[in-house]
Homo-oligomer: A and B are copies of this chain.
Amino acid sequence: MKIIELHKSLTESNDRDADALRARMKAAGTLMINVMSSPGSGKTTLLSRIIGDIGKEVRIGVLEADIDASVDAERIEALGARSIQAHTDGMCHMDAGMTAAALDEMGTGDLDLVFLENVGNLICPAEFDTGAGCNVMLLSVTEGDDKPLKYPLMFSESDALIVTKTDALSFFDFDLKKCEERAKRLNPAIRIFPVSAKTGEGMAALEEWIRKRMAEWKDTKT
């Protein structure tokens, strides 16, 4: 498992860099999914489950972005998937230049699917296009159903909302229906997947959606 120290892209043209990276990944037929959430919403646990479930049929790589440490990349690598740990030099998000540099270091030519596990932060990552083919966000039931009201941008920018830790629903005041209504008010097209990576509940529907996105990514031309 490699660790790469990243620094903020010198270029100001993040959107252009993001489009260039997306076009490159499209030409290679590799779908990159940008995974965003608060710290501790269960991103690494969810990705570990997905790798266990579909990692034999789909060649998966994971780019782990954190300010420090390498615990997540180590967890992923122990599952047999390719992984790289990117350190963001104190920064609270990934931009397209940083993402491209880390992908180059990891190597993606032979992969079908790359997850970018963004820095744990419900705000800033939503402001930067990473060049991913699609964006998903996690919200754990322990965080509360009011989060779409308080952090609207990430809900607007995500293709799917994955509600995690549903096995703990009985323990917390989380109204799934209210959360869905609030998310759909911001983003009517958003797909919502309540899951428990611990019990496996809801994972099949999410994985089916990922497979479909991969097929579309390979089929359509930009």
Q: Type the 1/0 row for A158-176, where 1 means its CB is closer than 8 Å to any CB of B.
A: 0000000100100110000
Stoichiometry, as copies per complex, reads 2
User: Complex formed: what's the CA distance from A71 to B151 in Å?
Assistant: 12
Quick check: B67 and A150 within 8 Å, CB to CB? yes
Q: A165 and B143: CB pair below 8 A?
A: no
Main secondary structure, interface of A, reads: loop
From A17-25, A28-36, A102-110, A115-123, the one touching the partner chain is A115-123
The residues of B that contact A168 with a CB separation of less than 8 Å are: 142, 168, 171-172
| Contact string against B for A residues 120-160, beta-carbon threshold 8 Å, 1 for contact and 0 otherwise | 11111000000000000000101110110111110000000
Contact B124 A92 (CB under 8 A): yes
Residue A27 is within 8 A (CB to CB) of chain B in the complex: no
A149 to B71, CA, bound (A): 9
Check A215 for interface membership: any CB of B closer than 8 A: no
Q: Determine if A187 is an interface residue (Cβ-Cβ < 8 Å).
A: no
A40 on interface, CB distance cutoff 8 Å: yes
How many interface residues does A have (CB within 8 Å)? 32
CB 8 Å contact bits of A37-59 with B (1 = contact, 0 = none): 01110000000000000000000
Contact across chains for A153 and B90 when beta carbons are under 8 A apart: yes
| Any B CB within 8 A of the CB of A216 | no
CB-defined contacts of A142 to chain B, threshold 8 Å = 40, 140, 142, 165, 168
A95 within 8 A of B: no
Q: Which residue of B lies closest to A152 (CB)?
A: B68
Do the beta carbons of A39 and B147 come within 8 Å of each other?
A: yes
A40 adjacent to B39 (CB under 8 Å)? no
Question: 1/0 per position for A78-108, CB-CB distance to B under 8 A?
Answer: 0000000000001010000000000000000
Write the residues of chain A forming the contact surface with B, with a CB cutoff of 8 angstroms. Answer: 38-40, 66-69, 71-72, 90, 92, 119-124, 140, 142-144, 146-147, 149-153, 165, 168, 171-172
